[in-house]
Structure 1
């Protein structure tokens, strides 16, 4: 997967790139295609701010994390994206279950 990593305030070293790529590799486990992932790293006073935007089928994920340690911010961002991806993945299933219950209830009320 190709991840677009940009930063105006710091240089993107190979270790930073590797950490981000490893974190995003964990996001591919649910077999949901990630479309054009973008990561922006900025330095704000004492903290690092890491933002990510990822396209997924029928939606888009966005997360932001701020921390003193860049690697901790990357890990926190990964956790937020994992939760959003899990929610996005299970959402259609719950909607289908709810809609089938509505159909059954309306059919029984017509009798």
Structure 2
């Protein structure tokens, strides 16, 4: 998978690229194709701010994380994306289970 990583503040080292790619590899375990994932790294004050977006069929994932440690921010970002992807994957199942249950009629008193 090709992940676009941009930063105007710091150079993207192979270690940073590897950490980001490993987080996105965990997302690929769901067998849902991510369309054009893009990660932006910024530094505001002492904190690193990491944003990521990735397209899905019919939806877009977006997450943002901030921490003093860049690697901790990347991990937080990956966890947020993973929660969104899990919700996206389980959404059709939740909708089917709601429609399968009969609607109880209210009795007149």
User: Does TM, scored on the shorter chain, surpass 0.5?
Assistant: yes
Whole-Å Cα distance in 1 between the matches of residues 32 and 12 of structure 2?
27
RMSD, aligned α-carbons: 1.5
Instruction: Find out whether 1:105 has 2:93 as its counterpart.
Output: no
Deviations 1:43-64 (A, max 9, x none): 0000000000011112111000
Q: Give TM-score scaled by structure 1 length.
A: 0.90
For 2:81, the equivalent position in structure 1 comes to: 81
Deviation of 1:94 after TM superposition, in Å, equals 0.6
Whole-Å Cα distance in 2 between the matches of residues 63 and 99 of structure 1?
31
Q: Give TM-score scaled by structure 2 length.
A: 0.91
Whole-Å Cα distance in 1 between the matches of residues 8 and 100 of structure 2?
50
Q: Which has the higher helix share?
A: 1
Which secondary structure state, in structure 2, belongs to the residue aligned with residue 19 of structure 1? helix
Runs of 5+ unmatched residues, structure 1:
none
Runs of 5+ unmatched residues, structure 2:
none
Which secondary structure state, in structure 2, belongs to the residue aligned with residue 96 of structure 1? helix
For 1:4, the equivalent position in structure 2 comes to: 4
Deviation of 1:33 after TM superposition, in Å, equals 0.6
Instruction: Find out whether 1:95 has 2:95 as its counterpart.
Output: yes
What stretches of structure 1 move > 2 A for 4+ residues in a row?
none
Which secondary structure state, in structure 2, belongs to the residue aligned with residue 92 of structure 1? helix
For 2:47, the equivalent position in structure 1 comes to: 47
Aligned residues: 106
